[in-house]
Chains A and B, each alone.
Chain A
Amino acid sequence: MAKKLPLKQRYAALTRDVHWEPSYVDPEKVFPYTSFEGIKIHDWSKWEDPFRLTVDAYHKYQAEKDKRLYAVLDGFAQSQGHLTLSDARYLNAMKLFIQGVTPLEYAAHRHFAFLARYLNGAGPRFAALCQSIDELRHTQTEIHTLSIYNKYYPGFHNWNRMHDRVWYLSVPKSFFDDAISAGPFEFLIAISFSFEYLLTNLLFVPFMSGASFNGDLPSMTFGFSAQSDESRHMTLGLEAIKFLLEQDEGNVPIIQDWIDKWFWRGYRVAALVAAMTDYMLPKKFMSWKEAFELYFEEQMLGGLFPDLAFYGIKPPRHVEHAIGEKDILSHQVYWVLYQFSFAASFTTTVPEPYELDWLSSQYPDTFDRFYRPLWDKARKIQENGGRFFFKGLPQLCQTCQIPMAFTEPGDPTTICQRHTVYNGERFDFCSDGCQWVFEREPEKYVQAWMPVHQIYQGNCGGPSVPEVLAWYGIQEGDNGEYLGSVEHTNWQRWHATAPVGS
C-alpha cells in the first residue's frame, strides 16, 4: 500500500488540484456574484486554509464527534436525565435556544452551500462546503438533543414556525436575513468574522459551561461539539478578512464599514444571550459581564484588533457603547422578557433571593441601585396574588427589532430613543449604533417585518392576544409565569418524596 502523503500535500492534492479555470465559459458567468460589492481579488490561490482539511479527514472526525454526542444522548434519555437538571425553569433557556438559534444554523447551512458554489477559489469553496455540512449537523443534533425535553416539558414543540412569527424571535431572524440578503463578501464579514470569530464564544462557551453546571449534559455536549466545528468556522472568518485585506488596499475601507455594521448587529442579538446567562441558569457559573470581559474585551479587543491594526483596521464603531452596557444589558433585557412572557413560548419568574444576591455581587455598581428594586416590587405584587405583565405592545427598534428598553449611554435611568425621518416617514431606534446602521442603508431596513406593526395591521391572526398566540403556535402552558405553571407543577410532583401516582 502506498504511504500516505504528508498533510500539506494531501490537502493540495485533494482540494486545490481538483480545481480548474473555466476556459470556454466566461468566468464572470460562472461566478457572477463576486464583483458587485466593490471588493477586488487578484489571486484566489492566496487563500490559506490552516486546518488543511480534506474530505476523508472531515468525514472521519465528524463521524467520531456525532458518535460521542449520540452516546451521551442515549445515556441521558435512558437514565431519565431530565429529572437531574438543576430545576425545570432552566429549560426556558433551551427553549429560547431552539427557537432562536437552531433555525439560524439551518439558514447558515443554506447560505454556505451557496458560497460553496459561487466563490471563485477552490480553498474558500471547500471551507464553505464543510461549513455548510457542519451547520446542517448542528441543526439536526440540536433538534435531536432538545427533543428529549419536548416529551416532558412545554415550549419546545413549535419552534420553527415560531421563529418566523414571534416578536422576540424576529431579533435573531432579521439579523440573519440581513446577512444572507447581502453580497457574498459582506456575508463572510457578517457571519464568519463578526459573528463566528468575534461573538459566538459568548453564546457557546460560557453558556454551555452553564448547561453542564445545571445538569444538562446533552446540551453541553452538542454545544461543545458544535463549537469544535466553530473553531474551523472562526478560522474561515479570520482567513476571509486577512485574505480580503491583503488582496487590495481598496478593500480596507469597505471591510471596516462592514465590521462596524456587523459588530453592532451581532452584539444586539447577543443581548438575548446576556439575559439567558445571568437570569435563566438557576445555578450560576459566569456572569455576562465576566464572559464579555474575557471572551470579547481581552481576547478580541486586546488580542485580535492589534493584529488587524497592521492593515489599518480599527476596533468596531460603537464598541465603547457595548463596553459601557456590560453592567446593565442582561438586567434590562430580562426585565423585558419578564413583562412580556405572557406572549412568549417560555416562562419567567422573579429571581430567587440567592440569585438576587449573586447578581449584586457580580454587578456591584448597578444591580442594587437600579434593578433589585424592580424585582422587589414584582415579588411583592406576586406575593399579593398578582403578576405584573405589561399588556400593551412595545415599540421596537427598526434595526435590531428589540423593544425600546435600552438606556442612554452613561445614564441607566433614561430610555434612549433616536429617530430618523426617511421619505417622510419616522423610524425609531434603541441606540446610536442601530440608527447608524439604518442610515447607511435605509432602503433595506424600511422593509423590515416588524412584529408589533404586523399585529396592528391585522396580519397576525387577529386583534386579541389569544388570537395572536394561536397564530404564533403558542399553546396554553408554554407561556406566562413559571410558578404554578405546568412544568413547575410537574417538576414538584416528580420530585415529591411520595411515590409518583400515590
Chain B
Amino acid sequence: MTATPAQQRPRTVGVDLQQNSEDTRAIVAAIERDNPEAVVRHMPGLVKIQTPGRLVVRRETVEELLGRPWETHEFQLAIVTYYGHVDEWDDDEIVIKWSH
C-alpha cells in the first residue's frame, strides 16, 4: 500500500454536537452508521465528528434509532458548529461537503 500524498487525500468535514440528550445520542449513532469512516471524539459537553470528504445525516436512520418521527430541522437543536459547506438540507437528508 502506498501512502496518498496529502493534497490528494479528501479533506475532512465535520460537525460538533451538544451532548445533552437522548436525541443527540441517536443522531450520533445514525451519523456513525451512515458514515463508516467517521471519527468521533468526546469532549466535555460536546461530541465532535469528523469524516473525510462528505458527511450525511439521514432522516430515516435517525428515526429508526430514535423510534419516532424526526424532522431534519430538529438537527438545529443538536448542532453546535460545523465546518464544510451545507450542500443539501431537505426533508430526507443533510449533506455537508466541500464544493471544490
* A residues in contact with B89, CB < 8 Å: 7, 50-52
A50-B89, A228-B76, A302-B11 given as contacts; is B45 within 8 A of A310 (CB)? Answer: no
A50-B88, A61-B74, A303-B84 given as contacts; is B43 within 8 A of A286 (CB)? Answer: yes
Q: Mark A273-307, 1 if CB is under 8 A from B, else 0.
A: 00000000000011000000000001110111011
B12: Cβ under 8 A from any A Cβ: yes
Task: Give bound CA distance, A206 to B14, whole Å.
Answer: 15
Task: Give bound CA distance, A493 to B18, whole Å.
Answer: 35
Are A205 and B83 neighbours in the complex by a CB distance under 8 Å? Answer: no
A485: Cβ under 8 A from any B Cβ: no
Nearest opposing residue in chain B for A54, CB measure: B73
Given A7-B72, A201-B81, 9 further pairs, Cβ under 8 A: A8-B90, A213-B44, A220-B44, A228-B18, A231-B81, A235-B86, A238-B85, A304-B83, A304-B98
A8-B90, A224-B18, A300-B83 given as contacts; is B45 within 8 A of A64 (CB)? Answer: no
Task: Give bound CA distance, A298 to B12, whole Å.
Answer: 9
Which 7 residue pairs of A and B lie closest in terms of their CB atoms, listed nearest first? Answer: A50-B86, A310-B100, A212-B45, A299-B83, A212-B44, A209-B44, A213-B44
B77: Cβ under 8 A from any A Cβ: yes
B82: Cβ under 8 A from any A Cβ: yes
* A residues in contact with B72, CB < 8 Å: 7
A303-B98, A307-B98, A307-B100 given as contacts; is B77 within 8 A of A224 (CB)? Answer: no
A57: Cβ under 8 A from any B Cβ: yes
* A residues in contact with B100, CB < 8 Å: 306-307, 309-310
A266: Cβ under 8 A from any B Cβ: no
B56: Cβ under 8 A from any A Cβ: no
Nearest opposing residue in chain A for B21, CB measure: A68
User: How many residues belonging to A are interface residues under a CB distance threshold of 8 Å?
Assistant: 46
User: How many residues belonging to B are interface residues under a CB distance threshold of 8 Å?
Assistant: 33
Nearest opposing residue in chain B for A200, CB measure: B81
Interface residues, chain A, with chain B CB atoms under 8 Å away: 6-8, 50-53, 57, 61, 64-65, 68, 201, 204-206, 208-213, 220-221, 224, 227-228, 230-232, 234-235, 238, 242, 285-286, 298-300, 302-304, 306-307, 309-310
A231-B80, A299-B14, A307-B99 given as contacts; is B44 within 8 A of A6 (CB)? Answer: no
Q: Mark B38-63, 1 if CB is under 8 A from A, else 0.
A: 00000111100000000000000000
* B residues in contact with A303, CB < 8 Å: 11-13, 83-84, 98
Task: Among A50, A53, A205, A221, point to the contact of B81 (Cβ < 8 A).
Answer: A205
Are B87 and A231 neighbours in the complex by a CB distance under 8 Å? Answer: no
Nearest opposing residue in chain B for A300, CB measure: B83
Are A285 and B84 neighbours in the complex by a CB distance under 8 Å? Answer: no
Task: Give bound CA distance, A53 to B89, whole Å.
Answer: 10
* B residues in contact with A50, CB < 8 Å: 85-89
B57 smallest CB distance to A (angstroms)? 13
Are B46 and A224 neighbours in the complex by a CB distance under 8 Å? Answer: yes
Task: Give bound CA distance, A448 to B6, whole Å.
Answer: 45
* B residues in contact with A51, CB < 8 Å: 76, 86, 89
Task: Among A211, A228, A306, point to the contact of B80 (Cβ < 8 A).
Answer: A228
B26: Cβ under 8 A from any A Cβ: no
